[in-house]
Amino acid sequence: MDNALGEPQTILLLGGTSDIGLAIVRELLSPAARTVVLACRNVEKGERAAAGLRHDGLTVDVVAFDGAATDTHEAVVASVVERHGDVDLAIVAFALLGDGEATSRDVAAAAEIAHVNFTGTITATIAVANRMRTQGHGGIVLLSSVAGERVRSANPVYGGTKAGIDGFAQGFGDELAGDGVHMMIVRPGFVHSAMTVGKKAAPFATTPEKVAEVTAKGLRAKRRMVWAPGILRYVFMTLRHVPGPVWRRLPLG
């Protein structure tokens, strides 16, 4: 159970090696936290991340989870619940970034990214939400992107999947509100992380820790959507109305 201070006891990170996901977990750890489950494809890497989180009184469990294997998502959630009880907070943080414009010429690569980022995110989120509806409480943090507002030409496949899950999460969050389940969408800009090493940073680039801070604050205030950094909300409020020919020429990384 969450307590009145919004401190979860059990956190499930789907995408258990995600830099941003792990930063959010660290930010949310409190004396009330009892269990963290890292669900990831690379279990070995997950174990290394788990070693960095473990301390007295906190159980950190690593479970195998493949975003692409959509027919396994319900079973993964069920086994986590079986072992650890109610999931208070789930962070949906797995995604493939692809290789920018190269991906949008490669049908197979694009299909894989679309499958994991879009289909996989939707099935995993529904699997978690179904459990939370049964338990009558829970929170879901869904990592979207500023692309949820407008997709850039630099990485349209990745951006398109983020825009898609962003829309899904808005509608699904409204549906869940009456069931005691709170959905919060996080829209980060460019984040310096393992995923973006070697990529050209966009303006207002941020760090996983900053995204985590914004996320924790948003959860305490029961926000529906947060931007990281917060100023991007106003930047994109403007950018979404910029005419196409201008938008294409903007130096957005």
Instruction: Give contact residues for another protein (rule: CB under 8 A).
Output: 1-5, 7, 9, 30-32, 34, 57, 85-86, 133-137, 178-180, 220-222
Tokens encoding 170: 């808005």
1 vs 102 by CB, closer to another protein: 1
Residue 213 Cβ, how far from another protein at the closest point, in Å?
Answer: 13
**At its nearest, how many Å lie between another protein and the CB of residue 22?**
20
CA angle 83, 212, 20 (to 5 degrees): 70
Our CB check for another protein shows the closer of 178 and 245 to be 178
Q: Give the shortest CB-247-to-another protein separation in angstroms.
A: 36
Active site residues: 158
